[in-house]
Amino acid sequence: MPGKVFEKFRYVFDKHVTSCWCSDDILHYIIGGNPTLANEFVAWLNHYDSMIGASETLATLGLNEDDVDVEYHELTDMEITLEHHKVRNGDIKVNVCDCLNYLTEDADRAHIMERPFVKKCWEHILEMATAEETVDLFDKDTWGDHDYSPLRKAVLSEICIHSIHQQRCENYVQLAAPFRRQMSVK
């Protein structure tokens, strides 16, 4: 019986949570979240953009990507504490590399690059991706010489307005109650 409960729990989680939050249509929402994850994500997008530029250059030279060793974008392997995500048992900590690998495992970067938000804000995203220090869109002291106000405004008006805990997670949350009851039965 517990195996069936776990199976159902995982099915609903994948269907209603993973499929939504790992979707190419909203993966760029990361930009408005944790600064470390946001900076790693925009660096990942920038790497793709630079590889596309390299591919176009290769094509003009009569070469293809198989003729050149294309460097893989390596994510930072470090553990961070997610601020504003406090739970009774302590802070939530994630490994940046593991987290972004999970979120982007099936991502289509070409599709993400075509999202209206990404296209409209690309100048600021690129600046953020190449910044020497971690940029926090909600802390102007981290901005250096660049004005990220337009990107912050876009995050607030186009990303933050979306409810996080409504329909996308409702089925998952409702499934957690019977799962908890099942686990407490001895």
| Each residue's pLDDT expressed in tens, for the chain with a length of 186 residues | 667 777 887 787 777 777 777 788 888 999 999 999 999 999 999 988 887 765 555 556 665 555 544 456 788 899 999 887 777 788 889 999 999 999 998 888 888 999 999 999 999 999 999 999 999 999 999 999 999 999 999 999 988 876 554 555 555 555 566 655 555 555
* pLDDT value, residue 172: 55
pTM of the model: 0.75
| Residues facing residue 90 across a β-bridge | 87
Which residue is it, tokens 């990220």? 148
Which residue is it, tokens 């997008």? 45
Q: How far is CA 155 from CA 96, 130, 168, in A?
A: 21, 19, 20
Task: Show the tokens assigned to 85.
Answer: 């995500």
* pLDDT value, residue 153: 96
* pLDDT value, residue 9: 76
Q: Are the C-beta atoms of residues 104 and 27 closer than 8 Å to each other? A: yes
Q: What's the rounded Cα separation, in Å, for the pair 119 and 135? A: 19
Q: What is the pLDDT of residues 126-155, one digit of tens each?
A: 999 999 999 999 999 999 999 999 999 999
81 backbone dihedrals φ, ψ, rounded to 5°: -100, 130
Residue 135: how many CB atoms within 10 A of its CB?
Answer: 21
* pLDDT value, residue 112: 92
